[in-house]
Amino acid sequence: MLIIFLSNYSLKLKDILNDCHLNTLRACLTNTQAIDIFNKYLYPAASECASSYVPGMPTNVHTALANIAFAACSTLNQYVNMKALLKKKDWQSASNELKDSKWCRDVKSIRCNLDATCVVSER
C-alpha cells in the first residue's frame, strides 16, 4: 500500500530513506503534495473513523473526534466511557473524560483543550 501511495507522487521509499539517512532533500514532498495527501487520504480516513465511533455527532464534536482519530482509529476506539457519554449527549462529562485521557496527556494542553472545548460547546 505504501509503495502504491508513494508512486502516486513519483516517490520511492528507498529515495526517501536515503534522504533521511544522508540528510538531503532529493525525495521530499512539496507543500502541494502534502496538502493533497491530507485532503485525499488522511482527513477522509480520520473523519470516517469519527463517524463510525459515534454516528450523527454535531460538527464540532465530529471535528474533535476526527482530530483524535489522526493518531489512529484504534486510539479513538479505546475511549469507551467517552463514547457512552457522547451517545447520551452529556457533552460536559465527555469533555472531562477527554481531558483525562492518555491522548490528551500525549498531545499536551493546547490541542487537548481545543478538542475538549469543541465537545463541550454543544451543551
- The amino acid sitting at 38 is F
pTM for the full model? 0.79
Flag whether pLDDT at 17 surpasses 70.
Answer: yes
pLDDT interval class at 123 (50, 70, 90) = low
Distance CA 117, CA 95 (A): 7
Least confident of 29-33, 37-41, 47-51, 83-87: 29-33
Distance CA 45, CA 72 (A): 9
Contact 121, 104 (CB under 8 A): no
Flag whether pLDDT at 49 surpasses 80.
Answer: yes
Q: What is the pLDDT of residues 4-16, one digit of tens each?
A: 777 887 888 888 7
Distance of CA 46 to CAs 34, 51, 67, Å? 16, 9, 7
- Altogether, the residues listed in the chain come to a count of 123
Q: What is the CATH number of the domain that holds 92?
A: 1.10.530
Q: What is the pLDDT of residues 88-97, one digit of tens each?
A: 999 999 999 9
Mean pLDDT of 25-30: 74
Contacts of 70 (CB under 8 A, 6+ apart): 42, 46
Domain that holds residue 113: 2-120
Mean pLDDT of 71-78: 88
Mean pLDDT of 98-118: 91
- Count of structural domains within the chain: 1
